[in-house]
Amino acid sequence: MVTYAEIRKNPEINTYIEQADGTMAAMGFTDHGRAHVTKAAETAAMILTSLGYDERTVELAKIAGYLHDIGNLVNRTHHAETGAVMAFRLLNGMGMDPAEISTVVSAIGNHDEGTGFPVNAVSAALILADKTDVRRSRVRNRDIATFDIHDRVNYSVVESRLTLSDDKQEVILRLKIDTTISAVMDYFEIFLTRMVMSRKAAEKLNLRFRLYINEQAVL
* pLDDT tens string 169-187: 999 999 999 999 999 999 9
Average pLDDT of the segment spanning 97-114: 97
Average pLDDT of the segment spanning 197-219: 97
- Per-residue confidence (pLDDT) for residue 142, from 0 to 100: 87
- Give the C-alpha distances (Å, rounded to integers) separating 69 from 31, 75, 91, 170: 11, 10, 15, 27
Measure the CA–CA gap between 56 and 179, rounded to whole angstroms: 42
* Range in 37-41, 59-63, 68-72, 113-117 with the lowest mean pLDDT: 113-117
Please check the confidence at residue 92 and state whether its pLDDT lies above 90: yes
* pLDDT tens string 191-205: 999 999 999 999 999
- Per-residue confidence (pLDDT) for residue 198, from 0 to 100: 98
CA-closest candidate to residue 79, choices 147, 21, 163: 21
SS (HEC) of 163-210:
EECCCCCEEEEEEEECCCCCCHHHHHHHHHHHHHHHHHHHHHCCCEEE
Enter the pTM of the model.
Answer: 0.96
Contact 65, 24 (CB under 8 A): no
- Per-residue confidence (pLDDT) for residue 219, from 0 to 100: 87
- Per-residue confidence (pLDDT) for residue 61, from 0 to 100: 98
Q: How confident is the model at residue 84 (pLDDT cuts 50, 70, 90)?
A: very high
* pLDDT tens string 112-170: 999 999 999 999 999 999 999 999 999 999 899 999 999 999 999 999 999 999 999 99
Please check the confidence at residue 31 and state whether its pLDDT lies above 90: yes
